[in-house]
Every structure is written in C-alpha cells, then in structure tokens.
Amino acid sequence: MFVFDVDETLVSTLHSYGVAAIKTAETYLTEVLGWNNIPDILFNLDDYCRVKEIEGFNSDYDVASLFILFMISIVSGNNSRFDRLKYEKMNFKEQNLTGDFVKKFQIFLNGVGSKPESYLSLIQANPPVFLKNNGDILATNLLENIFQQFYYGNEMFEKIYGNIPYLKHLNPDPLYMKEQLLVDFNDLRRLSSMVKLAVVTGRPKVDLDLFLESNMIEDLFLPDSRFFIENCVENGQSLLKPNPYALNQLIYQNPEIRQLVMFGDSINDYKMMLNAEKNNHTIRFQFVRVISPGCTSPNFDAKYDLMTSKLTWDVFLQFFSPRVNP
C-alpha cells in the first residue's frame, strides 16, 4: 500500500492554506478583537513555514491560533509565559503595534523564552474562550469559520455549509482554486492499477473530497482509504500527527498489508510512521520525504529517506519488490 500525506505532497497548499492561516489571524485581530493601526502584513509565509516545521503543529487552525496568541502576549508586555486568565480578561480594543514585534516573533520561533511548543497543548486541549476554536463551524468555532471563508470564498462556503460566513461583509477570493496537483495525473492513475492508494491527512474531509473531485482522481482514493486526523479523537483529545492513531486505523482496516510506503513532507509524517511501525511488526515500512515546492522542512534522519522535488513514475518503481506484495 502507498500512503500519501496530502498537503505539499499530493497538492500545493502554501498559497491556499498558508495564506488562509495568515489572513485568519490578522482578520481575527482586527475584525473580532477590534485592533486597529496594525501593519498591513503581520506575518508572512516564511513565518508560516517555520511554525509548520515544529513537531505537533500539523493543523493550520493551530498555526492561526498560535499567531493570535503570540500577538496578544506581545501587546500585553509579557511573552515569557502565557497567562490564560489574564489574557481572557484583557480589553483588546484599540491596540497599536510597533515594528519591534517582528524581531520578537523571530526570537519566539527560535525558542528563546516562551517556546511555540508550550502553546500547543493550550491550543488543542483547552483553548482560550476568546478563540472559540472548538465545536461546530457554524455555531462556536469562529476561528475555523473565518479560515474556511478565506479558503473557499463566500459563495462556495455557503454552498458547502448551507449558511453564510460569520464575517459576511468580507468577500475574499477563494484560495482553494490556487491548489495544484503535484503528482503527474497519468503516473498516479497508472500507479493505482498496481497498488492500493490511501491518504492520511489533517485536511477536513470536505476539503479533500473537493480537491480529489476537481482533479478527477477521486476514484483512485476510495472512501475506505481516506483517513482524516480530524476524526481521531480519544477522551476528548484530538490525536494529531505524529500520533499514529489514523495510520493504525488504516492498517487495521486493511489486514492484507505487507508493505507500506509513506509519502510525506514533514517530521510529523515521518514520526507518525515510526510510531505505527512499533506496533506492526509484520509490515515492511518505508518513508519517502517529499521536498515540497512550498515550505522546505528541515533535514531529519529518515531510514528510508528519498528526497525528491516531484513524485514521478521512476520514484514509485523503486518501492516495488518482487518479494513483497505491496
């Protein structure tokens, strides 16, 4: 079985999800919290890529949340730790930012003082109430509502969710239309005739289904081979990459697997595979690190590492073995 991460492996997402995360954070600060007189560009795609490199930050909603929480800690004058109660009681109106926040953000990303990792459990397990980053997208999940509005645009948002977005006065250009398939269409179709294909992704199901359908490859990844991290919850906790829960579920539902080749672009993908390998000793695991055209993840020691800028037929053929039925 060949298992693909999706973002920056099968599909280019830097100018869709990356831009959406940045715009969501900036819009939340101005439209929801009422900040004004802030720079036109608070964060850039390099900042986005740097956060995505951090183990555990696989969700773009978490990236947007981190941007928001960081800016709140900066204007409060204390970025050494995140005082939850203090920030929930703050008056966020009429905030004015100075140019030195850029320097402070780089220091923050480099792990000096409060580290980005320290925000992760707060974001995922017990988000501050002002973020409202949980629950239904049309009811309580305001951050996701804004993110999906930028990703889909108003018209497609209403078509998918059956309601208008929260910030209906905004009318952004749909970012999902900037996504492109990174694997040759004919190579992918040829590959599917030889081996079962699957995806394990942090994307929402509606996003993946739309992408597969618009690129006419939905028949290559059957519904029982699409595993979504958003559905991986245990005791109220989201089991995000590198937790192997989703990959283990895929293996459990496909007991015939003897070889599993994982294609991914991040340390989170690689560690997810390693964690799954620990409990599945009858399967031969291999990992292909894809060097995406967008964010370039840092080097990591992958036993089966193959660095490539594009997945081609020649790359795929290297992982077929006459001794192992994939």
Round to whole Å and give the CA distance between 52 and 56: 8
**pLDDT at site 277:** 93
* H/E run at residue 3: strand 2-4
In order of start, what are the domains of the chain with their CATH numbers? 2-11+179-317 (3.40.50.1000), 14-175 (no CATH)
Residue-wise pLDDT for 183-231, tens only, equals: 888 989 998 998 899 999 888 888 989 999 999 999 999 888 888 776 6
**pLDDT at site 12:** 87
169-190 CB burial, b ≥16 within 10 A, e <16: eeebebbbeebebbbeeebbee
Count Cβ atoms below 10 Å from residue 281 Cβ, excluding itself: 6
Tokens of 148: 């999906």
Mean pLDDT of 47-69: 82
| Stated pTM of the model | 0.79
Residue-wise pLDDT for 82-136, tens only, equals: 444 344 434 433 344 444 555 666 666 565 455 565 566 555 555 555 555 555 6
Phi, psi of 238 (to 5 degrees): -75, 130
Round to whole Å and give the CA distance between 79 and 259: 47
**pLDDT at site 273:** 93
